[in-house]
């Protein structure tokens, strides 16, 4: 279907169901004992929150997760199951940051940003390292992009291991700040966050963006239909669960098939945390 040879890095099978475990674990491990004592906090659409909660639980330190109230039920439950405290907020950048500031002021918790943090970026990059260790000959690697932790970390890893491998980001048209910023050469905020890909509604970071500018070949934007069709394809043919925020990377390869024709392409399936009570499949 793609006229390319595809290799999937299945982070949906990762602990807690997403690549986020990599960065969160690295960030928790890197904390000094003094900082760790005061606990950690984060804002998150869910996967990072769960991953941080799990990593904090292992190091036995307090963890608070600030989540938009419209996050999926399964993501709330996952975070709760690792013993985190949850604070809900409105699903916008401002509300999230305000809640976080208040918490830090009160507790002195270390803020582990979901992506704008070098230890997080380094952790996420290990997914790219493993992919390139398995397939050092890849012509291209495509990952979803939201805040840019996975894309920036992956781009450092991939370019460091094979300078001939191009790295691409895949982003929803409905939340295309990375694409707009990449084109403009400066950070341009999201105009909307209207996408089913609930893991891709964040804004590109001040630390991640320059790394992406330097290492990434291009960012490909996808419609909601393209994202959902790729999700259905992966479920039906590969028999694995991925979330829309993951299937977008396959959607990018199918859409830009001329770009990838005859190439070996690594696709980062970033996570598999979907709410089975709220699936996007209709009669077709």
Structure tokens of 196?
A: 């089913």
Determine the straight-line distance between the first and last CA of the chain, rounded to whole angstroms: 19
Contact residues toward a copy of itself (CB under 8 A) are: 12-13, 17, 74, 232, 235-236, 239-242, 272, 276-277, 279, 281-284
Q: What are phi and psi of 170, to 5 degrees?
A: -125, 130
Q: What are phi and psi of 43, to 5 degrees?
A: -100, 150
CB of 96 to a copy of itself, least distance (A): 26
When the beta carbons of 206 and 225 are compared against a copy of itself, the nearer one is 225
CB of 272 to a copy of itself, least distance (A): 4
When the beta carbons of 80 and 263 are compared against a copy of itself, the nearer one is 80
When the beta carbons of 81 and 261 are compared against a copy of itself, the nearer one is 81
Q: In whole angstroms, give the CA distance from residue 83 to residue 57.
A: 7
When the beta carbons of 15 and 263 are compared against a copy of itself, the nearer one is 15
Nearest C-alpha neighbor of 127 from the set 248, 7, 282, 259: 7
The SS3 of residue 18 is strand
What is the enclosing helix (H) or strand (E) of 5?
strand 5-10
Nearest C-alpha neighbor of 22 from the set 55, 44, 58, 45: 55
Nearest C-alpha neighbor of 49 from the set 25, 67, 34, 62: 67
Enumerate the β-bridge partners of residue 7.
Answer: 266
Q: In whole angstroms, give the CA distance from residue 203 to residue 181.
A: 10
CB of 54 to a copy of itself, least distance (A): 14
When the beta carbons of 13 and 102 are compared against a copy of itself, the nearer one is 13
CB of 255 to a copy of itself, least distance (A): 21
CB of 75 to a copy of itself, least distance (A): 12
Q: In whole angstroms, give the CA distance from residue 43 to residue 97.
A: 8
- Among all chains, which residue has been given the structure tokens 């013993």? 83
CB of 239 to a copy of itself, least distance (A): 4
CB of 238 to a copy of itself, least distance (A): 8
When the beta carbons of 64 and 72 are compared against a copy of itself, the nearer one is 72
When the beta carbons of 13 and 183 are compared against a copy of itself, the nearer one is 13
């Amino acid at each position: 279907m793609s006229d390319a040879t595809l290799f999937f890095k299945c982070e949906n099978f990762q602990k807690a169901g997403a690549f986020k475990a990599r960065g969160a674990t690295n960030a928790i491990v890197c904390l000094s004992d003094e900082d760790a004592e005061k606990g950690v906090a984060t804002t998150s659409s869910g996967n990072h929150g769960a991953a941080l909660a799990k990593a904090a639980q292992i190091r036995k330190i307090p963890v608070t997760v600030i989540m938009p109230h419209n996050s999926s039920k399964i993501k709330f439950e996952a975070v709760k199951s690792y013993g985190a405290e949850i604070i809900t907020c409105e699903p916008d950048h401002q509300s999230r940051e305000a809640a976080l500031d208040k918490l830090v002021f009160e507790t002195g918790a270390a803020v582990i940003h979901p992506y704008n943090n070098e230890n997080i970026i380094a952790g996420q990059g290990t997914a790219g390292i493993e992919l390139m260790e398995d397939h050092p000959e890849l012509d291209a690697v495509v990952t979803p992009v939201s805040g840019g932790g996975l894309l920036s970390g992956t781009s450092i890893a991939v370019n460091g291991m094979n300078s001939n491998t191009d790295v691409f980001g895949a982003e929803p048209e409905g939340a295309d700040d990375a694409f707009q910023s990449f084109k403009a050469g400066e950070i341009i905020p999201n105009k909307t966050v209207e996408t089913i890909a609930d893991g891709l509604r964040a804004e590109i970071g001040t630390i991640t963006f320059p790394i992406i500018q330097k290492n990434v070949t291009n960012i490909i934007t996808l419609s909601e239909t393209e994202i959902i069709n790729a999700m259905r394809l992966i479920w039906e043919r590969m028999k694995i669960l991925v979330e829309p925020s993951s299937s977008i990377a396959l959607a990018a390869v199918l859409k830009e098939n001329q770009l990838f024709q005859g190439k070996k392409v690594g696709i980062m399936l970033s996570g598999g945390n979907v709410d089975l009570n709220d699936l996007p499949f209709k009669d077709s």
